[in-house]
Chains A and B, each alone.
Chain A
């Protein structure tokens, strides 16, 4: 087997692996969902951000879930988020406020891409119902418990 063929095989095997590590979830303000989006009244209610996958062959097949992780009067709380699809083909979902106004909160958004197979998290610290972009962590792997608690601690 020639060295050129070996090099090609190595590239063919590494490219998907590298692409897999590039997969991530990007967040943006509601305006990123587009001005022509036909948004329902309920959805408009307290939408705080929109989220989408990047570097995934089939963005529409990406599974995104989320929780709001909070600390209210020293008590740790976790609220499951119901993400609302905005543009399912592009994998764009809206997150609206389902957690209490009081306390400190960090949103943990998790996504899995089927091809190339990868998983990633984005940790979004909140100030009221506004996300703090400069403290947002876009991770290229699932967030660890330690990373989440550190993000929450930084808010308090």
Chain B
């Protein structure tokens, strides 16, 4: 029946590059073809992950070097130039060899997955999907590091495995991870941010719109997106949205008013009023929320947030008010480490 699947048209379909007639044909096919719908989901998910990548500009010295090389009189291939290419080739070969040496022990099916409906576990490769249905669950064994339980109605893509990184991607649904590993070894990508394990247990849920919620039960993790970072310790939670990344974390035992105000602040719904409520409702433990707000509010509001935190715990020795208000990274870190004793 489906002799002409539409997988090859899906990237252009997502970008809106198809003609009206082609689009109509793809729509009609997708309505009846589960395989192509699944492929569409993968294309959309990959596109969301790509949106997380930040653009890095080359330093001016690189451009200057290129320009001066191009404008140099009589610049043409020479013996020295040829030797340079030969040297580059040797370096490239050495790098390829190094990568091969590092990954030679890695299996082509490094993941071990147990589905609740199956009696045994099976090996799966990077790039494969774990897809649980309505009443089904699964467990992913993360090498020697721990386990990830996959709830019903969840899609997880198994990512690459290397000595320095174990990576999963959660497209939608809920997973619960329990990991005993050095920091930053286990990472879960979601459409809105990456959950970077810092030694912990947590649950993360992603909805159909790509928005997610991270709840920490043990240890702590960070949510990261384009340089924006939220630290989430045990007992706290944090929302994350595509396009804006991680929101402001708060403890789940905070007052209802504070939690609602944080959600309002993050979604831009009357942030001035929301900030008033957060400052008023905060307890010593809520310095977690206030500390994150320091770098997310305008300068006048930053003073209010600073003063509220300082009422609970003044900055440590050799950290000044001016450093904090100017968002000095080292001073902020040192104050956070002091505040964390109260979290």
Contacts and interface: CB of A to CB of B under 8 A. Distances in A.
Interface in A20-37: 26-32, 34-36
Contacts of B234: 29, 130
B337 A34 contact: yes
Contacts, number: 55
A64 B98 CA distance: 46
B198 interface: yes
Contacts of A29: 220, 233-234, 340, 343
B91 interface: no
Nearest to B185: A41
A47 B199 contact: yes
Contacts of A129: 218
B317 to A, nearest CB: 12
Interface stretch (B10-18, B176-184, B203-211, B274-282): B176-184
A15 interface: no
B240 to A, nearest CB: 19
B218 A31 contact: no
B180 A30 contact: no
B233 A31 contact: yes
Contacts of A72: none
B231 interface: yes
B333 A35 contact: yes
A30 B199 contact: yes
The contact size tier of chain A is 20 to 34
Interface in B165-206: 180-183, 198-199
Nearest to A46: B180
Contacts of A146: none
Contacts of A46: 180
A28 B342 contact: yes
Most buried by A among B181, B219, B341: B341
Most buried by B among A29, A36, A130: A29
A39 B182 contact: yes
Nearest to B144: A41
Nearest to B200: A30
Contacts of B199: 30, 39, 44, 47
A32 B218 contact: no
A45 interface: yes
Contact of B180 (A26, A32, A41): A41
A110 B198 CA distance: 29
A51 to B, nearest CB: 10
Contacts of B231: 31, 35
B220 A30 contact: yes
Given A39-B199, A44-B199, A30 B219 contact: yes
Nearest to A51: B341
Nearest to A40: B182
A44 B220 contact: no
Nearest to A42: B180
Contacts of A41: 180-182
Nearest to B253: A134
Interface string A129-145: 11000000000000000
Given A39-B183, A47-B219, 15 more contacts: A28-B340, A29-B340, A30-B219, A32-B340, A32-B341, A35-B183, A35-B198, A35-B231, A35-B333, A41-B180, A41-B182, A44-B180, A44-B181, A44-B183, A130-B218
Nearest 9 interchain pairs by C-beta:
A28-B341, A32-B340, A44-B199, A32-B341, A31-B220, A31-B233, A31-B340, A34-B337, A45-B180
11 contacts: A27-B341, A29-B234, A30-B233, A31-B220, A32-B337, A32-B341, A47-B199, A52-B341, A130-B218, A130-B234, A130-B235
Interface of B: 180-183, 198-199, 218-220, 231, 233-235, 333, 337, 340-343
